[in-house]
A and B are shown apart, each in its own frame.
Chain A
Amino acid sequence: MISQDGVNLAVCVITAHFGDLVAKVCSCLLKRGSLSLQEIVRTTEFSNSQVKNCLLVLIQHNCVQAFSVPRGGAGGATKTVTQYMALFDNILHRMRFSKFLAIVKGDLGVQCETLLQGILGYGRLTFDQLMVRATSKQSEGSSCNVDVLRKNFSKLVHGHYVERCPRPEPFIAPSEEAAPARKRSSKIIHFVLQFREEILSLEQQVVIAASLTDAERFSEIPNTGTDASVTEDKQDVTVGDKQIPFGEDQRKFESTELDEETEATISETEVLWRANFQKFVFCLKKKVCVAKVRSRKGLDAGVVLEAIIESSEQECDSSKIYGFKASMDSILEKVRGKPDGISMTLELVRGILEDLDCSSHTEDCNVYYTIELQCITESCRKDEVESLILTKYGKEAFRIFGLLNRKGSPVETDQISDFTLVDKKVAQQVLYNLWKDDFLSMQKVSVEGTGQRRENFLWKLNKKSSWNLVLNHLYHAALNLNQKITHVVEQEHEALLSEEKLKHLKNSRTILELSLLKLDDAIMIFHDF
């Protein structure tokens, strides 16, 4: 369930990028859940065509997913209805395009970055459309090399930075029908997570049903072989390296080649590609975890963590739900390939892996290490909340919060005061303030002792709700930063501003934009990682 602050932020992003009309349709879907076209028309009071156009824009930019559900009609007849669902995560990803571009630029270079920019800007494009865009952007006098474009595009696909768009309108059967059967079909997919079955929300079911397999998502555009030569001599036909005798075999071969050509043409002109947000989220998660480990345990530890993640990506499957596993040999190879890791000894690397709480096991005479990033991301969340408590409520509150976080169970006021060496009166006030702002839960307990009846208070940190509270604050702060940026831009355009004031406003805008990028890192820590 998305909070009001989250909805407000998402609507702000859509308004800034697509205008008020589209934002209203999106807001309607975010607040009310998935709706049919007619339901959206009724709610927004827009015309049919206006709503359709808005939905088209949102679907084009991967902010809305359509799906079909059966609905009982009059007389017991069942008909299929198309519903639309807002994709909250994808909407927020629109704030991060500059980060995604920086990742690709760092990994694959400027040309790939430019290609990705086109895909992000248009939401989804065919390869053909990408080429047209790239050609039109070339300056006069310089030619656009199609092969270079194709090669760069292949790099993006191979690196999983772009993917084929999901199914446009998957069919979602009602859960009572689906559960007993548990069939796998091309349209209805039941997600089994590590031999457990999870109860999935409608949004999760739709996203899974729409998803292609990894093989399909990252299936590259077939190369039609531009260096193929076909001679006029019908006796011997040379296609590439193959020499095909004329006759029936040749006709068969030619028809196969035509199919491949048709397939390639279809791939280039009809298959839509979009940015693979999962990959970018993973890259950012890796970056944050490495930075955290580097700041906590030193540069060497950061190098080793990066090495184990990269080795794991190469050795194992990419769905890293439960940890990154790599052999010691591959970790060492990666470590020594980095500038800061050249001189690191086996003993040092082993020590760091133990310090990072990696589990190890032996397999086929090789030692494997596994690390779970969840511990590191949880540590990032804890640090963020503690930093907020320290700044907003003071050092005593920081200490008390740290104690309650460690204990995990209710603790009595005097015990808190004794353990943290905070004055009892001050401790009471701090606990009350934290409770008032919903960081803590409180329980009153009556105690009988030496003929007197006293009321004791027990305090507990409810991590889940505290973390949600902070996430909502982050959404609210990001919304405010966005609005302040808009306000400063409006002020910049005011007439009769002195040069000094204009410069000051521009500097303020820079500070706000950088702060928003940083704040977005924190949103990802709490929501995406």
Chain B
Amino acid sequence: MQLVSKSQLPMLPQKRPHPDSKSKPPPLPEAEQKIYTSIKSKQSMGIWTADIKRETGLPNTVVTKALKSLQNKNLIKDVVNVHNRAKKMFMAVEFEPSREISGGSWYTDGKLDTELINALKRVCLRYIAEHKVTTMEEISRSIEASRVLNVPCSMQQLLEIVRTLVLDKEIEEFRSKGAGEFARVPSGKTCYRISRGKVGTEAGYLASVPCGVCPRISECTPDGVISPKTCVYYNKWLNLDF
């Protein structure tokens, strides 16, 4: 008896369709088809439930039932809109939510991944502090080589992190002059170093007195109900509560 592989056997007619066969799925009921068409047309932007009802003109119960059915058939998925996490939004499964909906690479389920961002900031800051002057490429290479992160991080993402450090005045951004402390960086290239002095962290003159940060400053008048004489913030600031 010669053993043959399954593939050598002639194909026999099937009594029931195979679950993996590529035959067309059964047509959707009218309501589901209408809703599915509406959702698919929005592509990666998705559509709110309320907008589906308005576009299709179908009653509430029909829409709700249809959406559940479509989800079970794996034709649509619900996505979180970063601008309004409470509202339900749907999208065809073959699309990925656009940046406008998802919020971008730093968002997961509509929430900003602050933990990842802060971790990356600490790592970048540590590298920049260890080196007098450094470039974006050096930061990226160093982080990749150190394998401190268990998630992949693109150069673009690292650039976004470094930009926030500049805005926070933790680091300074320069164009290299190609000489002095910038000698090893080609002239004109953007580079970074730790901020010198107390930039951005020293309290200003106005911020150092209660009036500077007072939420009621616009209501404060010399002889009014809110005045320097009666001000509770002043009394607390000077420990004059006696």
Contacts and interface: CB of A to CB of B under 8 A. Distances in A.
A487 interface: yes
A522 B196 contact: no
A512 B242 CA distance: 18
B197 interface: yes
Interface in B65-112: 82-83, 100, 103-104, 106, 111-112
A518 B238 contact: no
Interface string A382-397: 0111111011100100
B212 A504 contact: no
A361 interface: no
A444 to B, nearest CB: 16
B180 A515 contact: no
Contact of A383 (B199, B228, B231): B199
The SS class assigned to the B binding surface is: loop
B57 interface: no
A512 B240 CA distance: 12
Interface in A474-529: 474, 476-477, 479-481, 483-484, 487, 501, 504-505, 508, 511-512, 515, 518-519, 521-522
B196 A519 contact: no
Interface string A332-375: 00000000000000000001001000000000000000000000
B48 to A, nearest CB: 10
A392 B222 CA distance: 23
Given A473-B212, A518-B205, A421 B196 contact: no
A391 B212 contact: yes
A383 B239 contact: no
B158 to A, nearest CB: 12
B212 A392 contact: yes
A421 B197 contact: no
Contacts of A421: 106, 112, 117, 160-161, 164
Nearest to B180: A351
A234 interface: no
B211 interface: yes
B53 to A, nearest CB: 15
Interface string B165-185: 001110000000100100000
Interface string A103-131: 00000000000000000000000000000
A36 interface: no
Contacts of A385: 204
B18 interface: no
B4 interface: no
Given A297-B196, A388-B212, A476-B220, A399 B206 contact: no
Contact of B229 (A418, A449, A484): A484
B220 A480 contact: yes
Contacts of B51: 452
B206 A384 contact: yes
A295 B198 contact: yes
A239 B83 CA distance: 94
Given A295-B197, A420-B167, A452-B45, A391 B209 contact: no
B190 to A, nearest CB: 14
B241 to A, nearest CB: 11
B229 A399 contact: no
B216 to A, nearest CB: 12
A476 B217 contact: yes
A246 interface: no
A512 B203 CA distance: 17
A398 B200 contact: yes
Contacts of B203: 387, 391
Contacts of B160: 418-419, 421
A483 B213 CA distance: 18
B207 interface: yes
A385 B41 CA distance: 48
A414 B111 CA distance: 14
A450 interface: yes
B130 interface: no
Contacts of B100: 414
Nearest to A399: B167
Which 8 A/B pairs are nearest by Cβ-Cβ distance? Answer: A387-B204, A477-B211, A522-B205, A391-B207, A483-B228, A480-B228, A508-B238, A423-B112
Interface of B: 41-43, 45, 51, 82-83, 100, 103-104, 106, 111-112, 114, 117, 160-161, 163-164, 167-169, 177, 180, 196-200, 202-209, 211-213, 217, 220, 222, 227-229, 231, 234, 238-240, 242
Given A388-B212, A487-B229, 12 more contacts: A295-B198, A296-B196, A383-B202, A386-B200, A388-B204, A388-B207, A391-B207, A414-B100, A425-B83, A450-B42, A452-B45, A519-B206
